[in-house]
Each structure stands twice: as structure tokens, then as C-alpha cells.
A and B are shown apart, each in its own frame.
Chain A
Amino acid sequence: MIRIDGLSKRYAGADYFSVKEVSLHVKPQEIFGLLGPNGAGKTTLISVLCTQLAPTSGSFQIAGVSPETSTRLVQQQLGMVPQEYSLYPSLTAWENLMFFGSMNGVGKRLLKNRIEEELDSLGLATFAHKRIQTFSGGMKRRVNLIAGILHKPKVLFLDEPTVGVDVQSKQVILKKIEALNKAGTTLVYTSHHLNEAEDLCSSIAIMDQGSILCQGAPKDLIREAGVTNLEALFLLKTGKALRDYA
């Protein structure tokens, strides 16, 4: 579903690559975990795959379409749930969702039905016409998720979708992610919650300093490394040094 070949990204003015010669293959209907410490290059890689940033070199395809062929076609295949809330604070949840759904090409009538459905499934139906600025962090995260799935994308990129939320909201979000996957959506997911990733992902890649350190099924990788869990594998691969960047 996603094929990445030797992809690199260096920001203008930077003297290092944020993403360095990355090659990956994500199978259809997989939940793929992209893990790594802060500054590893996960968000940059997702931004490139979501066509928000141009790669410095290398190529990729989503559902068999390359952005070099048609950026618009690639964009039609994907959905994105960014790490930031990425919503208009002064608009209501309904207004935000109507706007983002329309921008993804969903017709008005269908869009209204889907918004009602998704708000209901994520426990936000009664808050549909409240402004986002009045929402708690967990509520914003849920609206943020809905905004990325209204057009039923084939591939959904989730950049730390459960960061900063309470346990209840986290459970609702994770259940929704699993439901989306069962419905046929391929998911690429980043998180610092390694237990969550171990439970959720069918395949993972650990990234550090722009490069992929290892990739495969979590259980296989843990067994091969001779460690007990994903956190131990993560520390083994990336080390214990603090990753402070300025």
C-alpha cells in the first residue's frame, strides 16, 4: 500500500538530513507503527508522505500512485491526523468538520451523515455545535481524528493521536483506530506510548536521526533482539542518551 524508496529530506539551511535514505514497505490493511525518540524524523517522514513537504531525494508511492504522477491522486488516497489539533478554535466541531470534509471532496449530504455518525461514535454528538476553543484536550483529539477520516481514506497517517489525553479518551481513540483498520484502512501510526504500539501494530519501524534502525513485526523484533518487550528493544536500538534539540 505504501512503498518508500531511498527517501531523504533536508530542510533549507539545515546541515543534516531529517530523513535519511529511508526505504519501507507497508502492506494493505496493516497498522504500521513508526517509532522513535524526539527528533528522529517521524513527523517529517509523515509530512513528506502526506505531500506537505517535498522530499530532497528518493521516491514513494501510495496505493500505487506516485506524487510525481499526480499529487492530487495521492492526496485522494490519504487521510491525516496531525500531532497538533489543527482545527479552527472559533468554529464549532460541526463547522470544522464540514469544512475539512468538503476540502477532501465529500458531498454535502453524505458529509452531514458521516459527521453525525462519527461524532456519535466518538461520544461528541452533544458537543457538535460548541466551539472548539471550549473543548478539553481529549475532545479536541477526537475531533482532530474525525477530520482526518470523513472521506474514508485508504491510508491514514496518525501522528501521536493519543498524546496528552486522559485514559477514557485514549481508549475511545484506540478503539476507533482498530475499527478503521478492520474496515480496511491501512494505518501509519507514530507514538511514544510503546505498550500501546506493541498491542496495536502489526508491523513497526524504529527510527533515529532520520534513519530506520529496524523494521518488522514487533514480536519478531523483540525475539530476535533477545529482549522482553518493545520498550527494551527501543532503548537497545536508540540508546539512553537524551534527545534535546534547539
Chain B
Amino acid sequence: MHKLWAAARKEAQLLRRDLGGLAILFVMPIVLVVTITLIQDSSFKSISQLEIPILWVDLDQGPIAAQVLTGLKASEAFVISEDSNEDIAAQLVRQGDYKLALVIPEGLSEELKEKVTGKVDATLATFGIAETVDSIPESEATSTQEIKLYFDPVTQQTFKNSVKNGIDKLIAQVESEMIYQAFETALNEGETSSTSFAEEPFIAYKEITMGHSEASDDHTLNSAQHNVPAWALFAIFFIIVPLSVNMVKEKGQGTFARLQAAPVSYLTLLGGKTIVYISVCLLQFLLMLLIGRFLFPVIGLPQLDIANRWFLLFFVALCAGFAAIGLGLLLGTLANTQEQAAPFGATFVVILAALGGVWVPVFVMPPFMQALSKLSPMNWGLNAFYEVFLRQGAWQQLLPDIGLLLGFFIITTGIAVVYHRKQHRI
């Protein structure tokens, strides 16, 4: 034990003297989590929370355009500016000033009203209620009016689809209302009844987010709940770079060779490193939680909801830290130069992060990449964090992922020790 603590003390002293290394370990994750969360915050919001600037061109000037505009304003999804010229609107979208221009064609309200009235009369005539349907020419009855949507090329297909669906819904609502009113007018011989068109839908949606406990429906994935654990994991795994470089430096300085002649096991030396670097991992994690909890609300980001699950969160961070350290110890054992350890370590962490769902959630990846992501320890860590943060999971739900993380630590450290023994077997 004396040797283990002496080895740990030496690692702590080395780390304390390396201010650049400490900055990488603590400042880099803070900058990353704040920057990425600020960038990604909007993509985690639904379309209705975004307030996208759009341009409204009303060539109709009728009730339908007015109702669609009211619907758009009510949605609170858009910041609406108005213009009267379609060409200017198209030009402004082309320049990127607006994400979308919506052009309501001239005569839309009148034409739709005529069509609806004609269709209602035709329907009533088949029941012998109305007298004739000859008043609507066939060509007019089948013509289609176009609402034009000019999109900025940078908009994504998902955004386009959301907008089209939203406008479709508004038009359908207006159309239904007109049909209803036309029937009412026809059946009451020109008088509308006091029963107005029901604005409240008969069928509504109730959204229930499934978790392991009843309280879980408050915990949906937002930018803080995703980014804090994701980038905390990235920081934790980034520790493989300073750790492996530290080990390679020891080889170059000759201190490692000196230790090989001393009666101390390689496992003890690795143990000393593990104690110090796992403490660093936990400190990094604490820092990230505090940032999410206290700094995020100040800078307009959602507050990280920890929901009194500190212990489980730290346990997951501990297991993730062990997995990262195992990888660092293996890389430090295999690499002979800093040029091998540092670039490989950094690149490998980025790949593991990408695969693990740190940047893009795994469920939006193609099936092959989703399968591949299961091999990334960062994916196991992220799943365990989601389990605690979002699904309110208990120990038993965490076991598979933390088992994988701890197993990964044992395997990588084991390989490092075996490789070292093989290289230096007397």
C-alpha cells in the first residue's frame, strides 16, 4: 500500500506542476459544454419554440389568408414580416434574410368559397335538398390554387416538412369550417345557426414520456440534459491523452527504466496513476454538473435537472472514468513516443464520441452506425446517464451499462499488464 500511495502522490505532484495539462483537463470541457450547448440548444427545441423569421405575402386579402395568418401568429413559431411583392419576397429569401416566404395567391378565399359552396350544393342535391348544381362550371371545380413557399436553401427537409404540415393543417381547418358553414347556410336557408364551428378538436393528443417512475414525465431530453453528460463523458475520456503522454514521457526520461529495476509491480504503478486520474475525472464531472446547474440558466440555457440523483450520477461517472483510464493505460503501455500517443489518443476519443452519440443522438444514425455505436464505451456511459437523468432508472437498470464500463477497464488494464510482462519477461 505504501508503494501505491507513493506512486499516486508522485502522479498528483506531476499533474499539479503541469498547468497546461490541467487547463486541458478542466477548462477545455467547460468551453466545450457551454459552446456546444449554446449551439445545439435550438435543435433540441420543437419547431414551435424556435421563432423563425418568415415573410408573409398576402395577394388574396381575403378571409382565408387572414385566418392562416392568425393561425401562424397563434403558433408562436414564427416572427412574421409582411410584404406585398412576391418577387421581392423571393429575393429576400434568396439573400438569406428570411428562412421562408409564404405567398397566398390572389382570389384564394373567393375561389375556395365558391368551390365549397358548389360541392355542398351538389351533395345536398343528391339528397334532394338543393335544387340544382349547374351553377359551377366543371373546369373551375377542378382547378387548384397554389400557396407558394419559398425556402432558403440552408433549411433542412425536416423544417420544410414541419412548415408544410403546419400550413396544411391550418388550410384544412379553414376548409372544414367553410364546408360546415356552407351546410349550415344551405340547410337553414341563408341563416347561420347560433352553433358556431367547433374550434376545439374532438380528438386531442396526450403526450406521455415513459420512464421507470411516475415522476419521469417531467424529464425530457433538452440541450442541457444531453450535452452535460455527453461532454462530461468526452472530457472524462479525453483523459487518455495526458495519461498516455505521461506514461510515454516516463519511458523517454528513463524513470520508467529505473522503476523496472525496482521491486515494484507494474500493476502498482498503474494503480497510482488510476487513483489520481479517477479523482480528476470525478472533479471534471462535478464541475460540469455545477456548470449545467448554475451557469446554464444565467446564459439562457435550460437548467440541468439533477433531481437528487447525485450519487447515481457520480457512480456512473466513476465507472466511465475507470473505462477511460483503462484505455489510457493501454495506450500508454503500447505507445513508444508522444507522437504516437497524443494524436492517436485524441483522434480515437473523437471517434468514440461520434460513435457513442455525443454529437448526434444514436437514434438518428443509420442502422449500421447504430449497431456500431454499441461498441463505444462512451455510448455505454451516455446510456447510463440517460437512464439516471431522463428515465429515472435505479441500480438494476444501470447494471448492464456500468458492467460494460467496468469490464472494459478490467480488460484494457489486463491487456496492458500482460503486454508489459511479455515485453519485459525475465
Contacts and interface: CB of A to CB of B under 8 A. Distances in A.
B255 A54 contact: no
Interface in A37-95: 47, 50-55, 67-68, 71-72, 75-76, 78, 80, 82, 84-91, 95
Contacts of B255: 86-88
B12 to A, nearest CB: 10
A102 B3 contact: yes
Determine the interface band of chain B, counting residues with CB < 8 A from chain A: 20 to 34
Given A88-B10, A90-B17, A103-B7, A80 B263 contact: no
Contacts of B206: none
Contacts of B260: 50-52
Contacts of A95: 10, 13
A102 B259 CA distance: 11
B317 to A, nearest CB: 28
B262 interface: yes
A25 interface: no
Contacts of B119: none
Contact of A147 (B258, B424, B425, B426): B258
A92 to B, nearest CB: 9
Interface in B118-173: none
Interface in B1-54: 2-3, 6-7, 9-10, 13-14, 17-18
Contacts, number: 87
Contacts of B258: 80, 82, 86, 100, 147-148
Contact of A103 (B3, B253, B425): B3
A12 to B, nearest CB: 9
B253 to A, nearest CB: 7
Contacts of A78: 261
Contacts of B215: none
A53 B253 contact: no
A107 interface: yes
A202 interface: no
B contacts with A: majority SS: helix
A147 to B, nearest CB: 7
The interface residues of chain A, by DSSP majority, are classed as: loop
B263 A105 contact: yes
B264 interface: yes
Given A103-B3, A103-B262, A82 B257 contact: yes
A16 interface: no
B10 A91 contact: yes
B28 to A, nearest CB: 21
Contacts of B201: none
Given A50-B261, A88-B253, A100-B258, A105 B13 contact: no
B266 to A, nearest CB: 12
Contacts of B367: none
| Interface-central residue, B3, B10, B18, by most chain A CB under 10 Å | B10
B185 to A, nearest CB: 90
B273 to A, nearest CB: 13
B254 interface: yes
Given A105-B263, A107-B2, A86 B426 contact: no
A108 interface: yes
Given A82-B257, A87-B253, A147-B258, A54 B10 contact: no
Given A91-B17, A95-B10, A103-B3, A84 B254 contact: yes
A19 interface: no
Interface in B384-400: none
A205 interface: no
A29 interface: no
26 contacts: A50-B260, A51-B426, A55-B426, A67-B426, A71-B426, A78-B261, A82-B257, A84-B253, A86-B253, A86-B257, A88-B14, A90-B13, A90-B17, A91-B10, A91-B17, A95-B10, A95-B13, A99-B6, A99-B7, A99-B9, A100-B258, A102-B3, A103-B7, A103-B264, A104-B262, A104-B263
Given A78-B261, A84-B257, A91-B17, 20 more contacts: A51-B260, A51-B261, A52-B261, A54-B424, A54-B426, A55-B426, A72-B263, A76-B263, A80-B258, A82-B258, A84-B253, A86-B258, A87-B255, A88-B14, A88-B255, A95-B13, A100-B262, A103-B262, A103-B263, A105-B264
Interface of B: 2-3, 6-7, 9-10, 13-14, 17-18, 253-255, 257-264, 424-426
